[in-house]
């Protein structure tokens, strides 16, 4: 079974983008290019916005996609954060 059979073009592009961005961020964390959790979040948000901007979707749908993509990426990177000792700001 292939994912292409069950997804529309836009959904498939978003899934592929999410996987590629997760791998890219993992590589940057491993190379110590990104070493703060806040850096990772800002980098991911910027890349997600630039990916979603040219798509012809409603603004609210773009916002939902942006939130879901970010949450998926952060969930997938949680073990990487712990393994690579990514720094986190703690508010008091």
Percentage of the chain exceeding pLDDT 90? 67
Mean pLDDT of all residues in 42-47: 97
pLDDT in tens, 58-67: 999 999 999 9
pLDDT of amino acid 3 = 61
More confident residue, 49 or 92: 49
Give me the residue spans of the domains in the chain.
Answer: 3-84
pLDDT in tens, 30-41: 999 988 999 999
CB 44 within 8 A of CB 21: yes
CB 65 within 8 A of CB 52: yes
pTM of the model: 0.85
């Amino acid at each position: 079974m292939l994912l292409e059979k069950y997804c529309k073009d836009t959904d498939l592009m978003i899934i592929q983008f999410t996987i590629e961005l997760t791998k890219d961020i993992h590589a940057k964390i491993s190379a110590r290019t990104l070493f703060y959790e806040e850096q990772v979040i800002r980098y991911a948000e910027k890349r997600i916005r630039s990916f979603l901007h040219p798509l012809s979707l409603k603004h609210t749908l773009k916002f939902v996609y942006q939130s879901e993509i970010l949450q998926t990426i952060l969930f997938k990177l949680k073990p990487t954060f712990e393994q690579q000792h990514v720094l986190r700001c703690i508010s008091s």
